Amino acid sequence: MSGVNLKKLSEELGLSISSVSKALRDSYEISAETKKRVLEMAEKLNYQPNPFARGLRKRKSITIAVVIPEIANNFFSVAIDGIQLIAQQKGYHVLTYLTHEDAQSEESTVKHLQGGRVDGVLISLCGDSASVGHLLSLNESGVPIVFFDRVPETRECPTVTTDDFESGFKATEHLLHAGCKRIAYLRVRGHLSTSQKRMDGYLAALKKNKLHADPKMIVDCTNENMSNVELLKKLLKLKNRPDGIFASVEKLAISTYYACNEIKLKIPEQLKIISFSNLRTASLLSPSLSTITQPAFEIGKESATLLFQMIEKKNFNNRIEQVVLKSDLIERNSSKRK
Amino acid sequence: MSGVNLKKLSEELGLSISSVSKALRDSYEISAETKKRVLEMAEKLNYQPNPFARGLRKRKSITIAVVIPEIANNFFSVAIDGIQLIAQQKGYHVLTYLTHEDAQSEESTVKHLQGGRVDGVLISLCGDSASVGHLLSLNESGVPIVFFDRVPETRECPTVTTDDFESGFKATEHLLHAGCKRIAYLRVRGHLSTSQKRMDGYLAALKKNKLHADPKMIVDCTNENMSNVELLKKLLKLKNRPDGIFASVEKLAISTYYACNEIKLKIPEQLKIISFSNLRTASLLSPSLSTITQPAFEIGKESATLLFQMIEKKNFNNRIEQVVLKSDLIERNSSKRK
C-alpha cells in the first residue's frame, strides 16, 4: 500500500485527519486557503486516495470486466483495444478474464464478479456455454452486462454483433460465383451464436441457388490445429471432396492451408477458400486469403460505449439496445476463379 | 452492487450481523452448528463478500496490473495468456492497461496504481519512455514490480527477458551464411532495451566477420505501417541497397514484405529477411518467414511467478531476480541461400 495516507498528510500539514479529509472532499467547513494548502501538499507527496476506502464509500469500483474465450486471437485482441480506448476516456480500469472456451471457467469467473468488484461486464460467450444462468444472476444483482460477438441465442439482452447471417450468405455466394459446386462449411463444435447464424446464411445461399445442402459438408472441428489438419486431410482426400471451403473462424482457414500444403492440393485451382478472419497478414499468405473481416475495433468501442450508458443509468434493464455492425468481404487469391 | 450483503444474510438467518460476520470469519465465539447454517445460507443466496470492504480490512487487493504497449500484437497477447494462467492459479484478478507506446500514458497509468489498487505490477516499457522515475516511486510505496521483455537499461531490477544479444548475433550470422553482404538492421525509433541489445548482437556479428557497419544500414522506422513501407521502398531502391534485412520487431518484417511486393523485389532471391516474430502464420506467408521466436507464453508465466513470489515476501527489494529465456531461430524460405 502507498506510504502516503491521510495520516501522513495530516502530520505534514499539522492538521487533523478529519480536516484533511474534509478539505479533499471540498467541504464547506474548510476555508479556501486551507483547501489550497492541503491540495498542494497532496500533489507534492503524490497522495492517492485508497481505492478500497473510496469504493466502499461510493459503492462504485470504477472498474469493468471483460470476459473473453481467448486473447491470442486477432479478433479479440483488437476488440479489447477498442474497449480500452473507451474505458480510458471514462477513467475506468479494465479487468480481463480468459475462459479458454470452458463453461465452468466462465461460470466461476462471473461468480467472482458479484459483490461489487466491477460496475459492469462485457462478455463474449465461450463455445462450450450452454446456459447463461450465472450471467442472469449477476445482472439481477445490479451489474449491467453487454454481450459482444458471441451472444446468448435464446434471450433478449444488450448485444453488439455483426451481420453474421448476411456475411455467411455473401461468402457462400462468392464461392459459388467463383465456380464452386460443393462447398464445405467448417465450424467449431459447440453452441456459438455466430457459428449458427453464419451457417444459416450458408444454407440460405445454397437454397437460393437450388443446391442440395449435404450434411457431410457441415464439418465439426475442434479448437486444436493438429487434429483439425488431420480431419481436413481426410475430408479433402474423399472421392466426393469439397471444391470450396467456407471457414466460420480464422483458425480453421489456417488449418486448411496446412492440410492443403501437406497433401499438395492447390489453392485456388483445386480448392477455393474464404474465411471469417481479422488476420493482418491475410494479404501476404500464399495464396492471399479471401476474408470476411469483422470491424473488431468498432465492436469493442460500441460495446464499451453501450456498457457505460447502462452504468450511468439506473434502470438499465428497461430498454435493451442491440447494435449490429457490418463486416467486409475482401476478395483475394484464395477464392479466385480459374 | 450485489443484492446479498451481510444485512440480507442476517435477516434470512434471524441472526445479528455481527454473528454472521464472525461465523463467516470462523470465529471461536460461534458454535459449529451456527457456522454450518450461515455457510449454507451464504452458498444458497450466493453471498459474495464486498471486495472493497475486504480489501480495506486485509490491505490486499488480490489484483495485479499488466501494463503493455499494445495488445493487438502476437507477442504481448500470448504473454498475457501466460500471465493469466498463473494469476488464475493464484486466485488473482488482472487489470490490463495499454500505453500505446506513449510515455505520458504510461506515467499516468502507473500513478493510478498507487494507493492499494493492486498488489503488484508487470510492465513492458513503452518505446517512448526515457525515465522510470514513476515506477520507482510506485515501488518505494511498497508495490513490487517485474519488468518483462522491455526493461530499464540503467537499473538493477527484477526482469524476465530473452537472450536478445545472442539472438541478434545468430540472426545476423544466419543471413551472412546465406550469402548476404550488406545487411540492414530495422528498428523502431525510441529507447527499447530489446532493440539496443539485438543491435549490439548484429554489430558484434558484423565485426566478427570483419564487415564494416555502415550507419546508413541502421534504419529508424516508426510504429506505422504505411510510412514504413514508403521508407523501405526508398531504401530498397538505393544503388547500394541492402541484400539482407534483419527486422528487430515483427511489424517491420511485414512492412518489408509489402514494400517488396510493391517494387517487385523477390524474396529471397534478391533480398533475404529474418525477423523477431511470434506470427502464427509465419510458415504460410509468401515466402515463409524466417524468425527468431521468443517464448512469449513462458515469459508471461515466468514474470507472473516471479511477481507472486515478491508479493508473498515482505522484503522483496533485498534480492533481485533476473530471468533470461532462450529464443528459437527458425529457418524458412525468406532467408534461403540461392
Q: To the nearest whole number, what is the mean pLDDT of chain A? A: 90
| B122 within domain boundaries | yes
When mean pLDDT is compared across A96-110, A289-303, B279-293, the lowest value belongs to A96-110
Report CB contact under 8 Å: B281, A1: no
- Residue A1 has a pLDDT of 37
Contact B89, B114 (CB under 8 A): no
Residues A155 and A236 in one domain: no
Q: Could you tell me if B135 and B185 lie in one domain?
A: no
d(CA A269, CA A283) in angstroms, rounded, equals: 18
Look at A72 and B73 and tell me if their CB atoms are within 8 Å: no
- A177-218 pLDDT per residue, tens: 999 999 999 999 887 889 999 999 999 999 999 999 999 999
Nearest to B270 by CA among B261, B280, B278, B279: B261
Distance of CA B231 to the CA centre of its chain: 28
Question: Residue length, chain B?
Answer: 338
Q: Which of A4-8, A172-176, A274-278 is the least confident region?
A: A4-8
Q: Do A98 and B112 touch (CB under 8 A)?
A: no
Cα–Cα distance measured from residue A224 to residue B252, given in angstroms and rounded to the nearest whole number: 29
Nearest to A63 by CA among A338, A304, A260: A304
A-proximal residues of B, 275-304, CB under 8 Å: 279-281, 284-288
- A241: its cell numbers: 471432396
Residue B180 domain flag: yes
What pLDDT is attached to residue B28?
77
Task: Name the residue with higher pLDDT: B139 or A166.
Answer: A166
Residue B304 lies in a domain: yes
B98 touches chain A (CB under 8 A): yes
* pLDDT at residue A135 tops 90: no
Residue B27 touches partner A, C-beta closer than 8 Å: no
Any idea which of A101-115, A231-245, A265-279, B38-52 has the lowest mean pLDDT?
Answer: B38-52
Task: Tell whether B227 and B300 lie within a shared domain.
Answer: no
Q: Do A148 and A267 fall within a single domain?
A: no
The pLDDT of residue A23 is: 82
B186 in helix, strand or coil?
strand
- All three cell numbers of B322, joined, read 533476473
Residues A65 and A87 in one domain: yes
Spatial neighbors of B59 by CB under 8 A, at least 6 apart, are: A1, B116
Is residue A179 domain-shared with residue A220, that is, in the same domain?
A: yes
* Res A59: pLDDT: 64
Same structural domain for residues B42 and B157? Answer: no
All cell numbers assigned to A207: 437454397
Residue A260 has pLDDT above 80, yes or no: yes
Q: What is the reported pLDDT for B140?
A: 85
Residues of B in contact with A7 (CB under 8 A): none
pLDDT of amino acid A3: 61
Whether residue B1 lies inside any domain: the answer is: no
Provide the pLDDT for residue B1: 37
Any B CB within 8 A of A222 CB: no
Percent of chain A exceeding pLDDT 90 equals: 65
pTM for this entry:
0.82
Is it the case that residue A229 has pLDDT exceeding 90? yes
Q: In whole angstroms, give the CA distance from residue B80 to residue A144.
A: 26
Lowest mean pLDDT among A40-49, A252-261, B52-61: B52-61
Instruction: Inform me whether the C-beta atom of residue B324 falls under 8 Å from chain A C-beta atoms.
Output: no
- Counting as low any pLDDT under 50, the low residues of chain B are 1-2
A176: domain range? Answer: 164-294+329-335
Task: Let me know whether A222 and A182 are in one domain.
Answer: yes
CB A162: neighbour CB atoms within 10 A? 26
User: What's the pLDDT at B2?
Assistant: 45
Are residue B15 and residue B101 in the same domain, yes or no?
no
Would A196 be classed as within a structural domain? Answer: yes
Nearest to B52 among A55, A78, A140 (CB): A55
* Predicted local confidence at residue A64, as pLDDT: 96
Residue of B4, B98, B261 lying closest to A81 (CB–CB)? B98
pLDDT of residue A54: 64
CATH code assigned at A43: 1.10.260
What are residue A146's DSSP bridge partners? A122
Indicate if B238 and B132 belong to the same structural domain. no
B289 part of a folded domain? yes
| Pairs across A and B, CB distance < 8 A | 161
What CATH number does residue A144 fall under?
A: 3.40.50.2300
Whole-angstrom CA distances from A98 to A46, A153, B43, B84 are 34, 21, 25, 7
Is A103 within a domain? yes
Nearest to A172 by CA among A217, A223, A230: A217
Looking at residue B272, its pLDDT comes to 98
Partner residue opposite B285 with nearest CB, options A52, A97, A281: A281
Which positions in chain A touch B84 (Cβ < 8 Å)?
71, 96-98
Q: What is the pLDDT of residue A130?
A: 66
Total of domains in chain B: 3
- Cross-chain Cβ contact A81/B72 below 8 Å: yes
Residue A1 domain flag: no
Q: For residues A88 and A210, state if they share a domain.
A: no
Separation in Å, CA of B179 to nearest CA in chain A = 25
Please check whether residues A155 and A303 belong to one and the same domain.
yes
